[in-house]
Amino acid sequence: MKFERSITAFARAREVIPGGVNSSVRAFKAVGGTPVFMQRGSGATIVDVDGHEFVDYVLSWGPLVLGHAHPAVVRAISNAAARGSSFGAPTEAETELAELICAMVPSIERVRFTSSGTEATMNAVRLARGYTRRDKIVKFAGCYHGAADAFLIAAGSSALSLGVPNSPGVTQSAARDTIALPYNDAAAVRAAFESHPDEIAAVIVEPYVGNMGLVMPQPGYLQALREICTQYKAVLIFDEVMTGFRVARGGVQEREGVLPDLTTLGKVIGGGLPVGAFGGRAEIMDYLTPDGPVFHAGTLSGNPLAMAAGIATLRTIHGDATMYDRLEVLAKLLTNGLHEIMQKHGVSHYSSYAGSMFGTFFCEGPVVDLESAMKSDTGLYAKYFHAMLERGVYFAPSQFEAGFVSTAHSTRDVERTIEAADASFSDIMARSGA
């Protein structure tokens, strides 16, 4: 494959956009080479500026659970655009999307919209601090909660693959109020609360971590976080920006039966448009201005186009009782198929899947936290990524990201992907002389 137009487009972009991209992970730093510039997408397929087609397992990093350009979503956005794109006054669409979210996510009684997941987590933490009148938060190494200062301590996703876990520009005082602990270690959380019993406002966690690759909680871990937060009167925040409407209608909290006090959402609830949301118990949410003292605002929060795309997406989900079962069957088929191919080629790996999410680490495993995730062979991942790209499969350009399937992906897409992996590993092994 020749990526001539992508190479030209990237050179042009770099003249005016730092690194040529508007979100760091897109730059392919973790896998090498030039980012592929996209032109259009439909269903499970994307087409780049050179005309190559790919089966897409990135899906805009999660939002597109119905695939690209789903007809109901396209119709909803164009109808909304024709009626006016923003008013800065309330619309009924906001209430409708809020009702859909409250109906489907078990712990959410009230919800506020933002324009990104980053804003959702920032506001959830401010609310937790205002509500508890405490300053510190606990987060877990390798979890990613967006690009706000408080979270750029041992952060996952692109902060991880770029090797800047503690970004310059994050002040000492911001860092001092964030306690970073290993994921899947309830004893470490208990110890932190014992040392700071009246200081920790919130524990924020990706209940299934999708931003260091896919890492699942061990049995009892989320329950333990719930018990510790209840005991110390701290706010438990599930960051379900990625997992919400991805692993089940009601997210991880529904699958695991553990209810947080606050939940952050984003990605799927915007149907591909910029959206975030934070919600939870009415008693806490009513602490927000104008009824309460904790400030929140946004010029484009609850934007009509974003609400329309979100409503079309969530209505489709709401009306499809077997959707997440079908998605998980597909994710399982892909994960097991890739597992067999890697075994055949003698590649050490550790895989998992949940709902429409999947992930493979190139190491023995088990991968339970950041330390074990970092044992993965990122050089092999880079080779695998490029070999699959050449064969028309678009995976995330970093080892430390989850993959996604959508309702538009077919068994045939998955079979083609497994065949491509077989050919890719044959090629990689032959080149490495193994």
Ligand X SMILES: *Cc1c(COP(=O)(O)O)cnc(C)c1O
Instruction: Identify residue 78 by its one-letter amino acid code.
Output: S
267 flagged as catalytic: yes
Give me the least distance between CB of 267 and ligand X, in Å please.
Answer: 6
Task: Let me know if 136 is a catalytic residue.
Answer: no
Beta strands in 106-222 (DSSP E): 110-114, 136-140, 178-181, 200-205
**DSSP codes, 15-33:** HHSGGG-SSGGGG-TTT-S
Smallest separation (angstroms) from ligand X to the CB of 26: 12
Size of the chain in residues: 434
Q: CB neighbours (10 Å) of residue 172?
A: 6
Q: Active-site residue among 29, 136, 139, 267?
A: 267
Q: Which is nearer to ligand X, 20 or 63 (CB)?
A: 63
Query: In one letter, which amino acid is 7?
Result: I
Nearer to ligand X, 116 or 263 (CB): 116
What's the chain's Rg over C-alpha atoms? 21
Which residue of the set 48, 56, 239, 261 is catalytic? 239
Footprint of ligand X (CB under 6 A): 116-118, 121, 144-146, 206, 210-211, 239, 241-242, 266, 276
* CA angle (238 as vertex; 232, 243 as ends), nearest 5: 160
Measuring CA to CA, how many Å separate 425 from each of 78, 345, 359, 388, 405? 44, 7, 17, 9, 22
- Residues 6 or more apart in contact with residue 255 via CB below 8 angstroms: 247, 248, 354, 355
Assigned token pair, 256: 């695991």
Q: CA-to-CA distance for 135 and 174, rounded, in angstroms?
A: 10
As separate numbers, helices (DSSP H) first and strands (DSSP E) second, the chain gives 15, 14
CA distance 378 to 134: 40
Residue closest to ligand X (Cβ) = 117
Q: For residue 407, what are the contacts with CB-CB under 8 A and spacing of at least 6? A: 65, 66, 67, 320, 323, 326, 327
Is the CB of 3 or the CB of 144 nearer to ligand X? 144
Closest by Cα among 390, 363, 387, 365 to 377? 363
Nearer to ligand X, 78 or 166 (CB): 166
- Is the CB of 131 or the CB of 151 nearer to ligand X? 151
How, if at all, do strands 200-205 and 235-239 pair?
parallel
Q: How far is the CB of 239 from ligand X (least distance, A)?
A: 4
Say whether 350 is catalytic: no
Shortest reach from residue 330's CB to ligand X, in Å: 21
Residue whose CB is less far from ligand X, 229 or 252: 252
Which is nearer to ligand X, 116 or 360 (by Cβ)?
116
Q: Which SS3 state, helix, strand or coil, does residue 61 take?
A: helix
Question: Shortest Cβ distance from residue 426 to ligand X (Å)?
Answer: 34
**Residue with Cβ nearer ligand X (205 or 367):** 205
Could you tell me the smallest distance in angstroms from the CB atom of residue 242 to ligand X? 3
Shortest Å, Cβ 342 to ligand X: 26
Q: How far apart are CA 180 and CA 182, in angstroms?
A: 7
Among 144, 208, 221, 381, the active-site one is 144
Smallest separation, CB 107 to ligand X (Å) = 16
In the DSSP assignment, the letter for residue 213 is S
Which residue numbers are catalytic? 144, 239, 267
